[in-house]
Amino acid sequence: MKVAYHLLLLSVQAGFTFVVLLGTYLLLALLDHTGGFPAFIGLLVFQPLLGVLLSLATMSVCVLVGLPIRLAAVGSWWRQRPWLALVGAGAGGALLVLSLFVREASHSAAFTEPWVIALAATGWFLLAFCPLHLFLPDTFLHRLRLNRTN
């Protein structure tokens, strides 16, 4: 029962994170669309494929980085504070939006500038890591009669 619960939880977290990341990637690709038929074909065909691959790769890295949260004593500390994951996901989204505004505001700051890439990458990984490690509070689980077993 314990293994089934953890696998179900991981699959729900991974599915939610995948939808968030793929939606974010496709929104960023749409905002970067410059027009023209070849770019439109790339937007419809290649960008979703690249978004799926990038989302899965990012989630794999985040699961490996977050293993101490799932396995060690740090996990109980993290699970007692679900607001950390919500704040982290919000900060990740804010960093992504900030990287777009900084890029648009400064014509010299292209998306190839290292500090803009660092801002966007930090936001992307926060947006991936935090929903992937978002746990329901124990009080909510007790109300649903889903007592978590450590």
What are the residue boundaries of the structural domains of the chain, listed by start?
2-143
Q: What is the pLDDT of residues 71-114, one digit of tens each?
A: 877 778 888 888 999 999 999 999 999 988 876 666 655 566 77
Regions in the chain scoring below 50 on pLDDT = 150
Q: Quick one: which of 88, 87, 64, 78 has its CA closest to 135?
A: 78
Q: Tell me, what's the pLDDT at 145?
A: 62
pTM (two decimals): 0.82
List, as one string, the DSSP characters of 79-119: HT-HHHHHHHHHHHHHHHHHHHHHHHH-TT--TTSHHHHHH
